[in-house]
A and B are shown apart, each in its own frame.
Chain A
Amino acid sequence: MNKVIKVGMADLQFASAPSMLRTSGLGSCVGIILYDERMKTAGMAHIMLPDSSMARNGILNRAKYADTAIADLIEELQKKGASKFRLKAKIAGGAQMFQFASNNEAVRIGPRNVSAVKEHLRSEKIPVIYEDTGGSSGRTIEFNPLDGVLEIRTVNKGVVHV
């Protein structure tokens, strides 16, 4: 069945062709897609924070942090038959929506999210095929596991396919 699976904020979902994955309103958050082209299967995470060590409460939603979300994406995809050495990544988001004079840590959360995501992907030896990160625009993304094409929509630049 051809359907679009929604990925919420701090959420993580999987889809195989012909289904698609979509997450909307990425600001400082980062959308991470890991996919296996041969199996035509993919996982998408919508992370909010760079590292699970930032959790101040015991209850941990692993999809919220770059490190744990990437680990879970890899593990789940392997369970679904994907091969780790075939996995590729596309990432989008990590914008700085507001320009503040202050040097508050929270202001720089977008760039910090992006560098955390890239660092974890690098240490897992997963190549980043495409990234549209930084800037000051919100993004809505949709990924098609069938052909590995990512659609990125912004308010200003319309729609691009990569």
Chain B
Amino acid sequence: MKDLRKLKHEHLDILKEIGNIGAAHAATSLSQMLNKTIDMQVPAVNLIPFSELSEALGGEEVVVAAVLLRLEGEVPGNMFFMIPLEDANHLIGSLIMEKDLNLAEHPMHEMGASALSELGNILAGSYLSALSDFTKLNLFPSPPAVACDMTMAVLSFGLVETAQYGDVAIVVDTRIHEESNVAKSPVKGYFFLLPDPESLDTLFSSLGIQVDE
């Protein structure tokens, strides 16, 4: 798949289904970990021009705590799990019992970074194993790496391969959040799957979908 603009609706639907299955598994994992109900939104799959990425993903100035797993194997790409900074401080802080945790500090709080990376590893791991079961493809995620910074700065790291093919990224965008009936803002998390363009052919043909070049 050299030109992402040749993707059709049926291709996007497949990616949406992948996001759906992946996030459902991740939500279950998180729910077990926190002993809370976790909801997920209907996934969105979009081809987004680089110039519009920041707007599409929540604004330029938003600071997020991010976990990145680089995917090797049959479907190379990048998998991000992101939590807005305040939610991340709250969530990770409660996991390691550190009340005034600020993950944005450099260098990152050691225990905080470790907990964030483990959380991302578990959630992205369940997302990816669901994807692997669904497609029968081998995925080998790298150990997790963490960063806490502006959304675009974090994401640009995952666009190096995509940028060599064109100016649009295919983003499988799935969001989960804590169910809450009180006024307190629920914790939100975002999964962004950015498959390298070359891996889309493998992905689609594993599910019996033709790709016309």
The segment out of A25-33, A68-76, A120-128, A144-152 that lies at the interface is: A25-33
* Chain B residues, CB < 8 A from A156: 104-106
Check: A55 CB closer than 8 A to any chain B CB.
yes
Using a CB-CB cutoff of 8 Å, which residues 120-148 of chain A contact chain B?
136-140
Residue-wise interface mask of A (70-100) relative to B, using a CB-CB cutoff of 8 A (1 in contact, 0 not): 0000000000000000000000000101111
- Is A20 interfacial (CB 8 A cutoff)? no
Q: Is the CB of B164 within 8 A of A97?
A: no
Q: Is A57 an interface residue (CB 8 A)?
A: yes
Q: At the interface, yes or no: A17 with Cβ under 8 Å from chain B?
A: no
Check if B51 sits within 8 Å of A56, measured CB to CB: no
Task: State the CA gap A92–B81 with chains docked (Å).
Answer: 27
Query: A27–B164 contact, CB under 8 A?
Result: no
Find out whether the CB atom of B152 lies under 8 angstroms from the CB atom of A136. no
**Chain A interface: which size bin?**
35 or more
Is the contact region of chain A dominated by helix, strand, or loop, or is it mixed? loop
With CB as the reference atom, state the residue of chain A lying closest to B108.
A136
> CA A61 – CA B52 in complex, angstroms?
15
A26 to B50 Cα, complex, angstroms: 13
- What A residues does B157 contact at CB under 8 A? 27-28, 97-98, 106, 109
Instruction: Give the distance to chain B from A50, nearest Cβ to Cβ, in Å.
Output: 10
Judged by a CB distance under 8 angstroms, whether A1 is at the interface is no
* Beyond A24-B150, A106-B161, A138-B152, 11 extra complex contacts between A and B, CB < 8 Å: A8-B51, A10-B50, A27-B154, A28-B156, A28-B160, A56-B164, A95-B153, A97-B149, A136-B147, A155-B149, A156-B106
Q: Could you give 13 example pairs across A and B, Cβ below 8 Å?
A: A26-B152, A27-B150, A28-B156, A48-B156, A56-B165, A57-B2, A57-B3, A98-B147, A100-B70, A100-B142, A109-B160, A139-B153, A156-B106
The 7 closest A-B pairs by CB, nearest first: A138-B153, A25-B152, A8-B51, A27-B153, A98-B145, A27-B156, A138-B150
